[in-house]
């Protein structure tokens, strides 16, 4: 993935996400771990955020594919709200790594990933 394309993707996400103010609450966090043919272990991490903790609240679904260095912290104190930041680190020349993801408010998630997808629903 080219650096300009990955940078555009991050800008598109940040525009929708509005620096964490639109979808501050964690609803779901899932990790799917699998081994690649070459023996390396990769994870896909799914995060679902909402603008309100009621079932009808708007949702933002994020999926981080081929994630490495996944760190998950204490999730018990996440009522303050999450602030997910995604940075393009494709110039770092790390194998299978295009993005660095940090949850900056509570410090309860960090990872590197090859790609990510996001979708907002009402």
3-class secondary structure per residue, the chain: CCHHHHHHHHHHHHHHHHHHCCCCEEEEEEEEEEECCCCCEEEEEEEEEECCCCCCCCEEEEEEEEEEEEEECCCCCCCCCCCEEEEECHHHCCCCCCEEEEECCCCCEEEEECEEEEEEEC
pLDDT at 2 over 60: no
For residue 44, the model assigns a pLDDT of 96
Contact 102, 73 (CB under 8 A): no
- Residue 11, pLDDT > 60, answer yes
What confidence category does residue 20 fall into, taking pLDDT thresholds of 50, 70 and 90?
low
Q: Give residue-wise pLDDT tens across range 22-69.
A: 888 888 999 999 887 888 888 999 999 998 878 788 999 999 999 999
Entry pTM: 0.85
**Could you read off the pLDDT of 81-107 as tens digits, one per residue?**
788 999 999 888 777 799 999 998 888
- Per the rule left: phi > 0, alpha: psi between -120 and 50, beta: everything else, 19 is left
Range of the domain at 9: 3-121
The tally of domains found in the chain comes to: 1
């Amino acid at each position: 993935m080219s650096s300009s394309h990955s940078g555009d993707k991050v800008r598109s996400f940040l525009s929708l996400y509005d620096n964490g103010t639109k979808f501050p609450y964690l609803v779901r966090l899932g990790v799917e771990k699998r081994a690649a043919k070459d023996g390396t272990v990769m994870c896909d991490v799914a995060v679902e955020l909402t603008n309100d903790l009621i079932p009808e609240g708007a949702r933002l679904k994020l999926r981080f594919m081929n994630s490495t260095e996944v760190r998950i912290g204490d999730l018990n104190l996440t009522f303050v709200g999450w602030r997910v930041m995604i940075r393009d680190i494709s110039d770092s020349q790390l194998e299978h790594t295009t993005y660095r993801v940090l949850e900056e408010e509570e410090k309860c998630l960090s990872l590197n990933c090859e790609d990510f997808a996001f979708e907002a629903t009402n």
